[in-house]
Amino acid sequence: MMMRKEVPNFFVYGEPSRSLEVGFLHVETVMERKTVHFGHVSPHKHPLMGQITYWFQGSGTYRIEDESWNFSAPAVSFVPSNVVHAFDVDENADAIVVSISDDMLKAIAPQVVLDLDAPIFLTGQPADRVWPKLKVLLNMIFEDYRERGAEGEKVLSGLISAVLSLMGRIGGRVALPSTSPTVSLGLALRREIDLHYRKDWPVGTYVTLLATTPHLLDKAAREVFGRSVKELLLERRLLEAKRLLLFTIRSVEDIGQEVGFDDPAYFSRFFRRMTGEAPAAWRRHHLQQA
């Protein structure tokens, strides 16, 4: 059983967790980090991004939370942020790993036929018609990222949406991995926050909505995300504000109202407290870097 309190957070495996830019995307193969893990990746989680892992050769054991699978390629998984995972594979095994920031996943979610709040692990036979499609799409993602990096975000997000939707098509025929009650409650909280963060509800409303207690909800938020419920709410509003500032020409006042702040001055103080910059200054700084 994976003990969550001892599970480290990583950016990519072996590198300390760090803040991610809006729209962050990273693609590499498992064996590119062979000298870090030598085929054994200990239980860990990524607090700010989900990962697709497509095993195109070799075999091993893959673990998500308290479930494990012995597999031979082809196999593919999707693990949302803050879900514990690990693997042990043979020396010939390799996979393409696509790391996608939470904000990008939220942006593509309406086009994806897969629950992006739940982990999934799928295996199959190379002769099955869907696996050659997954192979082509993931090779395209890998090659395009190698050529253009994150600059090809629009093309890459479309390809990633297609991969996740194909996984959802397969996943409809298999059971999703189970998670502990605490993890399930944490993931349910995140889903509700995504739906309702603009309404500026108090924490008690989420307690009632999820039919739980303040203690259990706070425990789930802290164990799964390392944040209080209130902090998760504020970070979700900040994330959407950043996306709107960076990818639209809407006014700061309009964006503040969109994420639930009727008072522009209050929105500006909130944004400055969270980022160290006023919204307009943050927008100028990041657009100059783009």
**pLDDT of amino acid 54:** 96
User: How many angstroms separate the CA atoms of 143 and 28, rounded?
Assistant: 10
Contacts of residue 267, defined as CB under 8 A and 6 or more positions apart, other chains included, come to: 241, 252, 253, 255, 256, 259, 261, 279
- Check whether residue 72 and residue 212 sit in a common domain: no
149: left (phi over 0), alpha (psi -120 to 50) or beta: left
Instruction: Give the residue from 171, 204, 227 where a domain finishes.
Output: 171
Domain assignment of residue 176, yes or no? no
Q: Determine phi and psi for 197, rounding to 5 degrees.
A: -60, -25
- Check whether residue 13 and residue 156 sit in a common domain: yes
Q: What is the CATH number of the domain that holds 282?
A: 1.10.10.60
- Check whether residue 166 and residue 187 sit in a common domain: no
**pLDDT of amino acid 226:** 81
**pLDDT of amino acid 11:** 57
Angle at CA 140, nearest 5°, toward 137 and 143?
155
Domain assignment of residue 51, yes or no? yes
Two tokens at 25?
């995307």
Instruction: Give the residue from 140, 171, 202 where a domain finishes.
Output: 171
- Check whether residue 13 and residue 58 sit in a common domain: yes
- Check whether residue 110 and residue 206 sit in a common domain: no
User: How many angstroms separate the CA atoms of 184 and 168, rounded?
Assistant: 19
DSSP 145-213: HHHHGGGGHHHHHHHHHHHHHHHHHHHTTSPPPP--HHHHHHHHHHHHHHHHGGG---HHHHHHHTT--
Q: Are strands 85-89 and 40-44 parallel, antiparallel or unpaired?
A: antiparallel
- Check whether residue 40 and residue 130 sit in a common domain: yes
User: How many angstroms separate the CA atoms of 55 and 75, rounded?
Assistant: 5
Angle at CA 217, nearest 5°, toward 240 and 12?
55
**pLDDT of amino acid 278:** 95
- Check whether residue 210 and residue 247 sit in a common domain: yes
Domain assignment of residue 134, yes or no? yes
Q: If the chain, 290 residues long, is cut into consecutive pieces of 10 residues, what is the mean pLDDT of each piece?
A: 52 56 83 75 85 95 87 93 88 93 88 87 80 94 85 83 91 55 86 89 95 95 88 90 86 94 94 94 80
- Check whether residue 167 and residue 194 sit in a common domain: no
**pLDDT of amino acid 4:** 43
Nearest CA to 270 out of 243, 221, 244, 233 is that of 233
**pLDDT of amino acid 3:** 42
Domain span including residue 80 = 4-171
- Check whether residue 132 and residue 244 sit in a common domain: no
Instruction: Please state the pTM of the whole predicted model.
Output: 0.70
Instruction: Give the residue from 171, 199, 215 where a domain finishes.
Output: 171
Domain assignment of residue 43, yes or no? yes
Domain assignment of residue 269, yes or no? yes
Nearest CA to 289 out of 154, 99, 150, 157 is that of 150
State whether residue 6 is helix, strand or coil.
helix
User: How many angstroms separate the CA atoms of 101 and 98, rounded?
Assistant: 10
| Domain total in the chain | 2
Domain assignment of residue 232, yes or no? yes
Q: What is the CATH number of the domain that holds 37?
A: 2.60.120.280
Domain assignment of residue 125, yes or no? yes
- Check whether residue 72 and residue 50 sit in a common domain: yes
- Check whether residue 130 and residue 246 sit in a common domain: no
Angle between helices 264-275 and 279-289 (to 10 degrees): 50
- Check whether residue 151 and residue 284 sit in a common domain: no
